[in-house]
Each structure stands twice: as C-alpha cells, then as structure tokens.
Homo-oligomer: A and B are copies of this chain.
Amino acid sequence: MKDNFKLKIEATDGNARTGVLKTWRGDIRTPAFMPVGTAATVKAMKPETVRETGADILLGNTYHLMLRPTAERIHNLGGLHKFMNWERPILTDSGGFQVMSLAQLRKITEEGVAFQSHIDGSKHMLSPERSMEIQRLLGSNIVMAFDECTPYPATKQETADSMRLSMRWARRSFDAFHNGSVHAAKNALFGIVQGGVFEDLRLESIDALRDMGFHGLAVGGLAVGEGQEVMFEVLDYTMPKMPTDVPRYLMGVGKPDDIVGAVERGIDMFDCVLPTRSGRTAQGFTRRGTVNLKNARHTDDPRPLDEECGCDACSKYSRAYLSHLIRSGEILGAMLLTEHNLTYFQDLMQGLRDAIAAGKLSDFVADFHARRALGDIEPL
C-alpha cells in the first residue's frame, strides 16, 4: 500500500468499521458517501456547497466526460479538479456501467466495448487501456478498473462468463494503470468484485483480485434490480472474504436503509444519484422517511422539511416555500432540495461513523428504523 493512499481504521463495531482514508488530496472519513458529479458538476450545486454538506470526495463519470467535453479537453485545461473547482479527492468510474446500459448501441468483445454516443451517435471504444487513459487524463484520485456490469437477471453461466471477462479486464486495467506514470504513483486503483448473486462466483472473483495489488476493492453488479434482501445476502457471504486492510466500496448504493445495512456488513464507501436526482423531482429525505413535496398538504405548512436538519433549506425556508418553488418550476427548488438531500445523506454517514466509534451501532440502527416507522409529521 502506497504511503499517500492509506486506510486507517479507527474503530470497529461488529463487521462495521470507521476510519480515515488518507489521500494526497485530503482525508476521506469512512464510511463515506460520494455525491455524483456526472458531467463535472454535482447537479444544481456549487462545489463549495457540496463540501459544506460534509462531502470529502466526489464521483465523476468517465462515460459522460469522455463524450463531453472530452477527457483530452479537460486534461488540457488542467484536469477535472481545476475544471470543476473541486480540489479534494475525486473517484471516477470506468465507464463500464454506463456503456452497458446503452443496449442496442454497444458491442462487447474481448478487446472492450464499441459504442455510439447517446449525444450525437458518434462511435467510440472503451477498453481497460482506454478507460485507464481517460481516468488518468481526468486526474482521478481513485481509478476504477474497467469491468462488465453483469445484467440482472442472468443465468449462472452468463454471470460466470461475464465475471471472468471482468477479471481479465481487471488484470489489463492493473497493467495499464501501472505504466510508470506520475499519475499512478500518486493515485489509487480499485478492482471490482463481480459474480452476481452466486456465492461461488463472488468468491472466485475475490480470489482473482485479492493478490493483484489493488488499493481498494468494490462490490459491483448490485442495486441493479435484485432487491435489498438479495443484496444483503450477497454482502453476507462476500464481505467476510474481502481483504480488511483496504477500503471496500459498494457501487451505486443507495437508499438510506441500503447504506445502513451495508455499513453494518462492513462497507466503507458508497455513491448514488439518489439524493441529487430526488432533489430535482420533489423528493426530500428526512429522518422520518421520504417526503413528496408536490403533495398538496405542504402548501401552507410553515415548518421545515426536517426539523432536525441544519441545512439552508431546513433552517431558512418552510415546506410551503419549497412546495411553491417546485410547483412553479423554479431552479431554486432543485437547488435547495438537492442541498438538503445531500446534507441528509452526509448526516447519516456522520451518525454511522459516530455510532461505530462509540460501539453503539445497533442502537443507532434501531433508532434509524424506529424514526422512519413513524412516518412524516402530521399535517397542521
């Protein structure tokens, strides 16, 4: 493990752990939630505001950035951090997940994935080598290996073939990343465990990756439709086999209760579009569950969205005002609700970290579920 990328575990509670992931661009408190900044912006947010919500690290999407404005352009402009005015760590995905979802527009071979842009139909290729090159051009601090996100549902044979292709691509990603560049010396590469919902395939995938020398391991191919129960089952047999000295990242997860359950099972890192996307579709996350601000009962309600939240949206505005902004299609509605949702997610992570540090995670989890069971506050 390189000195400038190190996970320092400070406390454990059951299978959960809390600590700090040290990088040359700053510390990441774990368990960590990474807001998604797809197109070099966390939608409807200034980066300073994202930081104020408690984010230590952002996620950027290779697929979107390679198409627009292009990785080469960002590189020429000084890299992604400078481009988007975020000096702290950035993790980039490999592009694999997004190109898989292009359906009719892509073709997978051993070499990689040929695909057409969803923006203008132009033709592109993503391979382990090209994905590593793009992530280097962007200046990513945590680079993800290029993999195939196995579709769900899939037969065991399909899942095995897909996982084994991803493992061969993981080796090529590793070799391409460690090409002697300055970038590789300062930054980290994560491998991705695949294998769908099959225990033996997950363990085979871990075996393939664990001695290769990745700086962290992700669990991929979950939150793709299998449901929370199945996802937790997979984590239950996967996590005990995962190396403990590196960060463990559950990709694309998730809802607050998904995160809580995954932290209990030993996950250190999360990313999800849920808080930001919901912020643009009138969904607010609160300690008492999810609130739809389009609902008529909010239009005269002078109370904040979440009385225990200290964000701008909750400390300065009423549900009535947020409701008005959303009904009027005002941009400020998306801005405030996104800020609130990101604050909610970061507060949840801070609560989990504090609970693990105090050895009281089970109390925290019980309280988390009890409050949600109450449902939203009564109408006035």
Chain A residues with CB under 8 Å of chain B are: 39-41, 43-46, 68-69, 73, 76-78, 83-85, 299-300, 302, 312, 316-318, 320-321, 324-325, 327-328, 330-332, 334-335
Contacts of A332 in B (CB 8 A): 41, 43-46
Residue of B nearest to A69 (CB): B324
Contacts of A40 in B (CB 8 A): 321, 324-325
Asked whether, in the complex, the Cβ of B317 is within 8 Å of the Cβ of A68, the reply is no
A73-B300, A85-B316, A316-B85 known; A324 vs B68 contact (CB < 8 Å): yes
**Residue from the set A68, A316, A317, A328 with the largest chain B CB neighbour count within 10 Å:** A328
Contacts of A85 in B (CB 8 A): 316-317, 321
Distance in Å from the Cβ of A78 to the closest Cβ of chain B? Answer: 7
Asked whether, in the complex, the Cβ of B45 is within 8 Å of the Cβ of A320, the reply is no
Distance in Å from the Cβ of A74 to the closest Cβ of chain B? Answer: 9
Contacts of A331 in B (CB 8 A): 43-44, 331, 334-335
Choice from B41, B302, B325 contacting A41 with Cβ under 8 Å:
B325
Asked whether, in the complex, the Cβ of A330 is within 8 Å of the Cβ of B299, the reply is no
**Residue from the set A41, A43, A312 with the largest chain B CB neighbour count within 10 Å:** A41
Asked whether, in the complex, the Cβ of A41 is within 8 Å of the Cβ of B330, the reply is yes
Asked whether, in the complex, the Cβ of B68 is within 8 Å of the Cβ of A328, the reply is yes
Residue of B nearest to A339 (CB): B46
A189 to B334, CA, bound (A): 35
A77 to B312, CA, bound (A): 18
Contacts of A41 in B (CB 8 A): 325, 328, 330, 332
Contacts of A68 in B (CB 8 A): 324, 327-328
A73 to B320, CA, bound (A): 9
A45 to B312, CA, bound (A): 13
- A selection of 27 A-B contacts at a CB cut-off of 8 Å is A39-B324, A39-B328, A39-B330, A40-B324, A40-B325, A41-B325, A41-B328, A43-B331, A43-B332, A44-B332, A44-B335, A45-B332, A46-B332, A68-B324, A68-B327, A68-B328, A69-B299, A69-B320, A69-B324, A73-B300, A83-B318, A83-B320, A83-B321, A84-B321, A85-B317, A331-B334, A331-B335
Distance in Å from the Cβ of A343 to the closest Cβ of chain B? Answer: 15
Contacts of A46 in B (CB 8 A): 312, 332, 335
Residue of B nearest to A68 (CB): B328
Asked whether, in the complex, the Cβ of A302 is within 8 Å of the Cβ of B78, the reply is yes
